[in-house]
Amino acid sequence: MAIQQRKTKSGVSNRRGVAIENAYTLIKHLIYYNLLAPGQKIIYGDISRRLNTSTTPVMQALNRLEASGFVTYVPNQGYFVGEITMDETLELFEAREAMETCLIPRIIEKITRHDIEQIKQVFRQYGGDAVGGLNRKLIMVDAKFHLRLAKYADNRVIFNILQDVFEKLYLKYRPEYLNPMEVREVTSERRRILGALGRGDAQTVVETNHKHIAASLERITSALRQREEIGLYPFSGAPRTGRNKAI
| Average pLDDT, integer, range 26-53 | 91
Number of C-beta neighbours around residue 53 at 10 A: 18
| Average pLDDT, integer, range 172-181 | 68
pLDDT tens for each residue of 183-211: 677 778 888 999 999 999 999 999 999 99
- The answer on pLDDT for 15 being more than 50 is yes
pLDDT tens for each residue of 106-130: 999 999 999 999 998 888 766 555 5
What is the pLDDT, as a whole number, of residue 235? 58
- The answer on pLDDT for 241 being more than 90 is no
Cα 173–chain centre separation? 9
Same fold, 2-81 and 86-229: no
What confidence category does residue 46 fall into, taking pLDDT thresholds of 50, 70 and 90? very high
Kindly report the average pLDDT of the chain as a whole number.
Answer: 83
* Contacts of residue 130, Cβ cutoff 8 Å, sequence gap at least 6: 137, 138, 141, 183
| Average pLDDT, integer, range 163-171 | 92
Distance CA 107, CA 39 (A): 37
What is the pLDDT, as a whole number, of residue 177? 64
Of 97-111, 130-144, 187-201, which gets the smallest average pLDDT? 130-144
* Contacts of residue 193, Cβ cutoff 8 Å, sequence gap at least 6: 149, 205, 208, 209, 212
Distance CA 100, CA 107 (A): 10
- The answer on pLDDT for 243 being more than 50 is no
- The answer on pLDDT for 238 being more than 70 is no
What is this structure's pTM? 0.79
- The answer on pLDDT for 182 being more than 70 is no
| Average pLDDT, integer, range 61-69 | 94
* Orientation angle between helical segments 182-199 and 137-151, nearest 10 degrees: 10
Report domain extents, the chain: 2-81, 86-229
Give domain 86-229's CATH number out of 1.10.1040.10, 3.30.470.20, 2.40.40.20, 1.20.120.530: 1.20.120.530
| Average pLDDT, integer, range 219-240 | 70
CB 110 within 8 A of CB 154: yes
Distance CA 101, CA 191 (A): 17
CATH code for 2-81? Answer: 1.10.10.10
